């Protein structure tokens, strides 16, 4: 017994040393990243704070090399898939834009601050939050209007925002553009099943048949389809989580508690909005928009196929519009090819800012 206890003691000591070494290395990398993230210059801006929006504290970051530049508010996907820990990915954007990241209600640090006590998690509440934040930013940053950029679920939120209060925005940019949620999932299911059968992937076929065709009962069933779909994604999309994990882990703005809250928020927000989102259809917003509309979609986007987005896009009216195909890009082209995305923003969107 004494030998066994001594062995357990040695094992516990080794685990403690390993944990301390890991935490020490993480602290070292975080310190390095603090230095790398410094923005210099008389008009540089780097703010991180909770802002009172819709009755709760919500996390907002604002970064840019020149406060005179246009402001671009990024609406993350998910719901719940925050982008605020990924500031290094957007570092190149900060020369031309003031980049605002927002952990939406039920997501990221906002979820960490409020927990499940987020108030009503509804589409209307999310839209009102987005408009309230936009109004705050205009006053806080002394701007006339913003550029609104939505990714995936953020395209649903973004279109509803520009439809409700177009005077706040110079332009809307969508990537991973969602048109009709339920209709899209039916198309994705059929296309994925055809790919699995062509690949003789019996394991994948069985798993997809087990959840059955959409509408899925829950976010968990939808995740089964997404994981199977990942087998056919571009290498950059397949490796996205592995590529971005160190960025989040070594972010100087993210404690281990924040990271835990980020993952919990993904589950919470996704489930909270899942059933209401099933009824989303951009066509119900009507064909006429009062702001320029841009869509930048990857040609290999398997989650929000560009052919579905293009059909909707061709039927809308806007003061100016452009549909841009990002060659080699997948659903998260904004993250896998941020410099290509930036070039399209500068070529297509900057000219409409007055």
Task: Give the model confidence (pLDDT) of 130-187 as tens digits.
Answer: 999 999 999 999 999 999 999 999 999 999 999 999 999 999 999 999 999 888 999 9
- At 74-91, the pLDDT tens digits run 999 999 999 999 999 999
How many whole angstroms separate alpha carbon 261 and alpha carbon 242? 19
How many whole angstroms separate alpha carbon 206 and alpha carbon 208? 6
CB 331 within 8 A of CB 298: yes
CB 235 within 8 A of CB 76: no
Q: What is the length of the chain?
A: 354
Look up tokens 């000219």; give the residue.
351
Beta bridge partners of 60: 49, 102
pLDDT band per the 50, 70, 90 thresholds, residue 27: confident
- This prediction's pTM: 0.92
Beta bridge partners of 326: 298
Q: Residue 287: CB partners within 8 Å, gap ≥ 6?
A: 315, 316, 317
How many whole angstroms separate alpha carbon 104 and alpha carbon 299? 28
How many whole angstroms separate alpha carbon 27 and alpha carbon 165? 43
User: Residue 78's closest CA among 331, 293, 311?
Assistant: 331
């Amino acid at each position: 017994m004494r030998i066994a206890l001594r062995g357990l003691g040695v094992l516990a000591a080794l685990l403690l040393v390993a944990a301390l070494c890991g935490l020490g290395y993480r602290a070292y990398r975080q310190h390095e990243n603090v230095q790398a993230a410094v923005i210099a210059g008389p008009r540089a801006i780097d703010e991180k704070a909770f802002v009172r929006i819709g009755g709760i504290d919500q996390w907002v970051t604002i970064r840019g090399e020149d406060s005179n530049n246009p402001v671009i508010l990024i609406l993350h996907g998910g719901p719940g898939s925050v982008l605020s820990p990924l500031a290094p990915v957007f570092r190149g954007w900060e020369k031309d834009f003031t980049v605002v990241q927002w952990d939406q209600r039920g997501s990221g640090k906002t979820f960490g601050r409020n927990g499940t006590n987020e108030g009503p998690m509804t589409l209307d509440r999310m839209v009102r939050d987005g408009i309230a934040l936009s109004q705050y930013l205009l006053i806080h940053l002394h701007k006339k209007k913003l550029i609104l950029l939505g990714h995936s679920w953020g395209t649903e939120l973004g279109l509803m925002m520009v439809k409700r209060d177009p005077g706040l925005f110079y332009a809307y940019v969508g990537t991973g553009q969602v048109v009709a949620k339920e209709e899209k999932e039916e198309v994705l299911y059929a296309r994925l099943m055809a790919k699995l059968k062509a690949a003789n992937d019996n394991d994948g076929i069985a798993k997809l048949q087990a959840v059955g065709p959409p509408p899925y009962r829950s976010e968990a069933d939808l995740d089964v389809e997404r994981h199977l779909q990942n087998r056919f994604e571009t290498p950059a999309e397949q490796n996205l989580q592995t590529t971005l994990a160190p960025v989040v882990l070594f972010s100087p703005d993210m404690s281990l508690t924040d990271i835990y809250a980020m993952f919990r928020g993904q589950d919470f927000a996704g489930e909270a909005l899942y059933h209401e989102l099933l009824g989303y259809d951009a066509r119900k917003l009507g064909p006429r928009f009062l702001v320029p509309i841009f869509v930048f979609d990857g040609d290999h986007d398997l989650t929000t196929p560009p052919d579905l987005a293009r059909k909707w896009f061709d039927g809308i009216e806007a003061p100016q519009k452009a549909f841009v195909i990002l060659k080699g890009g997948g659903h998260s082209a904004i993250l896998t090819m941020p410099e290509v995305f930036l070039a399209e923003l500068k070529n297509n969107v900057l000219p409409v800012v007055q």
